[in-house]
Amino acid sequence: MDKIDLKKDLKSLYQPSAKQVVEVDVPAFKFLMIDGEGDPNTAPSYAQAIEALFAVSYTAKFMLKKGAQSIDYAVMPLEGLWWADDMSAFVSGDKAQWKWTMMVMQPSFVPDDLIHAAMLEAQKKKNLPGIDRLRLEEFAEGHCAQVLHIGPFSEEGPTIERLHAYMDARGGRTGKHHEIYLSDIRRADPKKWKTIVRQPMS
């Protein structure tokens, strides 16, 4: 059984260069999503969100693999949309004011009813508080600019400034700051963490 890896199939969206900002058109994809606010390093709701997203995503993966369709695929990486009511909270680093939507893309060949069944199954087995806050939603970003950041999250500033400068010189930015986490931060050296930084262009 061949394993489908959408990160490779969608190379332009999930394997950008760290050397230059590029423009991409992002179509609608289906995501498991969960909203929250507060410091991602300390807010219990953030840890619960990540746990719930991956518990359901992996449950759905194994349900599809063992089912009649017998399809195997790689679970997609964690993604996050970030904003604040007062955007100066990002400049000042006031993480308590940060708001976020964390999400994991679900392949189009995974039926919605299977994902909902995976939510029930994961809740029955693990009883995770975040699962009740999950939703399945289509998200279309449209025309965006993005670049790859290599290194710890605390050093993203210059990468984000480079992205914003590129966009501001070409009409400006809109939408929410979007990050895609390609590395397993529990195992990888922070110096080698790979994060896609993306934002819609106006």
Provide the number of structural domains found in the chain.
1
Q: What is the per-residue pLDDT for 27?
A: 97
Residue 6 maps to a domain? no
Answer whether residue 5 is part of any domain.
no
What does the pLDDT look like over 10-54, one tens digit per residue? 999 999 999 999 999 999 999 999 999 999 999 999 999 999 999
49-53: long-range contacts at Cβ-Cβ below 8 A with a sequence spacing of 24 or more? 49/102, 49/130, 49/133, 50/78, 50/102, 50/130, 51/128, 51/130, 52/122, 52/128, 52/129, 52/130, 52/131, 52/133, 52/134, 53/78, 53/102, 53/103, 53/104, 53/130, 53/134
CATH code, domain with 112: 3.20.80.10
Domain assignment present for 1: no
Residue 191, domain extent = 11-200
Q: How far is the C-alpha of 56 from the C-alpha of 79, rounded, in Å?
A: 15
Q: 138-177 pLDDT, tens per residue?
A: 999 999 999 999 999 999 999 999 999 999 999 899 999 9
